């Protein structure tokens, strides 16, 4: 716009941009100087950053971004941190191998390492069945209640982890076998019903008293050799306590009936085939802590 064509806003005396909307004209005021200075500074900073730091992307086939004068590399920094952590863990892992479980429990630093390592290993290998924090699920024992089928000591838990339960490939696995009283026709359906009523009565459930009375005799003949005459269980056989109202496969009549009829001989892998000794020890310490330990 030439000098003689300039449009001046009469009230303010400021030149306009020539744009007008519904009689409202846009004034051609300059940008504030402080704003311009900040803008210029950001441009200068950006140029300096690209020179000093790795910022300019490389073209395809030319490798990574430019290194920059500072030689900074987040990838190298992370690699160094990972290597440092691996060295620390290697030293702690070596200490776990030589320390007994009791020594791990009394050495605070080693115990903390074992707990952290065990919790991580539990999440990767055990939580799928036993749940986060060992809360368990139907068909999978709760590990946080200090009620154990086999042994709840540190050594006992380590043995179970090492050799598994009913893991046929391991000759030292924990093994027991509950008969399928219905499927194998060891008992009639009425007899199973009587036994179930008796088993439920052991934990204080309301049952058919007559059926429970008949079931007591059958229980003594067929079940007491493993579960005990009072139903308190026997960890030698992994026979659960039937008096504490803690149930792995469900506490309803139908759940217990199915257990007696078809048996529940679950399997746990022998983790000694997949995990190293230090990880097994860490898992034992972690699992032992979930329920307070024995």
Give the list of residues 6+ apart from residue 198 with CB closer than 8 angstroms, or none: 207, 211, 212, 213, 214, 215, 216, 218, 219
Which of 188, 190, 183, 236 minimizes the C-alpha distance to 211?
Answer: 190
Structure tokens at 277: 């000794």
The answer to the question of whether 1 is labelled as a binding residue is no
For 116-134, b where at least 16 C-beta lie within 10 A, e where not — what string? ebbbebbeebbeeebeeeb
Q: Determine contact, residues 149/134, Cβ cutoff 8 Å.
A: no
**Is 226 marked as binding a ligand?**
yes
Residue 19 known to bind ligand: no
Q: Is 115 annotated as a binding residue?
A: no
187: its two tokens:
């008992």
Check whether 50 is labelled as a binding-site residue.
Answer: no
Binding residue per annotation — 129?
A: yes
**Long-range CB contact pairs, 209-213, < 8 A, 24+:** none
Answer yes or no: is 268 a known binding residue. yes
Distances (CA, A) of 216 to 6, 200, 232: 111, 11, 14
Q: Detail the residues annotated as belonging to a binding site.
A: 126, 129-130, 178, 223, 226-227, 268
Binding site per annotation, positions for heme c: 126, 129-130, 178, 223, 226-227, 268
């Amino acid at each position: 716009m030439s000098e003689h064509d300039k449009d001046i806003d009469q009230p303010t005396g400021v030149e306009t941009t020539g744009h007008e909307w519904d009689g409202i004209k846009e004034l051609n005021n300059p940008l504030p100087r402080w704003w311009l200075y900040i803008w210029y500074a950001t441009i200068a900073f950006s140029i300096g950053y690209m020179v000093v730091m790795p910022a300019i992307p490389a073209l395809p086939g030319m490798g990574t971004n430019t290194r920059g004068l500072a030689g900074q590399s987040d990838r190298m920094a992370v690699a160094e941190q990972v290597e440092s952590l691996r060295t620390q863990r290697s030293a702690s892992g070596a200490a776990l191998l030589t320390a007994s479980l009791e020594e791990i429990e009394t050495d605070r630093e080693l115990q903390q390492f074992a707990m952290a390592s065990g919790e991580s290993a539990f999440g990767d290998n055990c939580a799928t069945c036993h749940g986060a924090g060992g809360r368990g699920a139907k068909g999978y024992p709760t590990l946080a209640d200090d009620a154990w089928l086999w042994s709840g000591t540190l050594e006992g838990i380590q043995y179970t982890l090492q050799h598994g339960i009913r893991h046929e490939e391991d000759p030292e696995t924990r093994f027991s076998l509950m008969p399928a009283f219905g499927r194998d026709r060891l008992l009639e359906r009425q007899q199973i019903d009587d036994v179930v009523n008796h088993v439920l009565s052991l934990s204080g459930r309301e049952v058919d008293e007559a059926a429970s009375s008949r079931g007591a005799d059958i229980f003594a003949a067929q079940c007491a050799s493993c579960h005990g005459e009072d139903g308190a269980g026997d960890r030698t056989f992994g026979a659960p306590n039937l008096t504490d109202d803690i149930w792995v496969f469900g506490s309803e009549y139908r759940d217990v009936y199915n257990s007696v009829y078809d048996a529940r001989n679950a399997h746990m892998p022998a983790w000694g085939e997949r995990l190293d000794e230090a990880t097994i020890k860490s898992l034992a310490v972690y699992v032992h802590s979930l329920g307070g330990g024995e």
